[in-house]
A = this chain, B = another copy of it.
Amino acid sequence: VDITITSGKLVYLDRGGFLLESIKDKVAIIGVGCTRFGENFEMTYGDMIVDAVFEAYEDACIDPKQIEAAYLSTAFPELQAAQGRSGMSLSEPLSLSHIPITRIGNYCASGSDAIRNASMAIASGLYDIILVVGVEKLRDLSPRESLVSQAINTGHPLITKGLTAPGIFALFANRYFYKYKVDRTCLAKVAVKNHFNGSLNPKSFLRNKIKEEDVLNAPFVADPLGLMDCTPITDGAAAVILTKRELARNFNKNFVLIKGTSLCVTGGNTLLFQKNNDFTGFQSTIEAARTAYEQAGIRNPKEEIDVAEVHDCFTITEILNYEDLLFCAKGDGWRMVHEGVTGLNGELPINPSGGLKTNGHPVGATGVRQIYEIVKQLQEKAGARQVKNARIGLTHTLGGPGGVAAVTILGIGK
């Protein structure tokens, strides 16, 4: 972009080394709730909201009347009879009237971005108690009405030739295999790990343990990605209640603090063809992580992060995320899963919930569900899938594909 300012002179601020304020430790999570993710045919969009939010109310020991503002994350209202187009879709099922409700839709980062904006609203001092809800009904549609079908119907020359999400991430997998001389077994190990974790999570959609050969023998969706390398299509909702740190202890002595929350948007649909894309990582994740680590004061992510939920829309994505999030060196992501580092009892457990692999990816809900999981892990309330000694956790969403990414860092309150 060339800019020509014709009147007046461009103004640059000399901040004199002045650092912007950080969000670190200003905002606390006092309650979380989550529906079972899956084929929720018996529940409407509103039913799922009620289910998740009332669990969060109870978790926070809070009266609904105390909610001062809310955020609703839904990415694709047009797939769910316009539900989620505005804050009204949250106020109606909850009878939450006369408060401000902002609705955010930002592809796969919608839920994370809703929490980020709610955190800034708390930090601004304007509200003390904010509810964030992520909800999406994707499974409850015929294939003809689905997002993929609609994308294909636009007639986009690349999408109609197969450049849907699996097609795009398959390009990354092939490039990764070529560059680092690995093969599909590293992907299979991701699927096996996440299915094992999901089997321990009562709210996960898929709860079957699988073997590597199950993944390797599954039919191809987009070579080298097979059916079991892909996230399933599900419905789901999750909720989080935030307050300022000073008030948190009144509600929940086991509260969790937000250490950092970032969003990075790198570009539009031509992203894949940008010069600096080497098809082995995502600049948006790298930048979002850098910002969140800076806010949280994290210098050595691999040592300091104890548990993470990352965006495993495909098995290859989880491996690329390890590298982009600086959990390991470039090209070493596949080793982390080969060596069991990211298993439930490993040094750095990743996706203890089962991740998108077993929960699916109801787009607006995912970022909020990830926060639910990390809060439960930090509170040592994660049941059979509890990881050990988790004090700092991270969530990561990636969408667009690759054009938007968000990272949130959470820590035990004190």
Contact = CB atoms under 8 A, between A and B. Distances in A.
B54 A268 contact: no
- As for how many copies of this chain the complex holds, the number is 2
B10 A63 contact: yes
A116 B287 CA distance: 26
A132 to B, nearest CB: 13
- Which of A106, A121, A125 has the most chain B CB within a 10 Å cutoff? A106
Given A61-B11, A62-B11, A403-B91, A86 B100 contact: no
Interface stretch (A170-178, A227-235, A258-266): A258-266
Interface in A44-71: 54, 57-58, 60-64, 66
A8 interface: yes
B12 A63 contact: yes
A139 interface: no
Interface in A93-141: 93-107, 109, 113, 116-117, 119-121, 123-128
Given A1-B94, A12-B63, A262 B100 contact: yes
Given A91-B265, A154-B81, A265-B87, A9 B103 contact: no
A116 B101 CA distance: 11
A33 interface: no
A85 interface: yes
A187 interface: no
Interface of A: 1, 3, 5-13, 15, 20-23, 54, 57-58, 60-64, 66, 75, 77-78, 81-82, 85-107, 109, 113, 116-117, 119-121, 123-128, 154, 247, 250-251, 262-271, 283-284, 287, 399-400, 403-404
Question: Which 3 pairs show the lowest CB-CB distances between chains A and B?
Answer: A92-B268, A21-B125, A100-B263
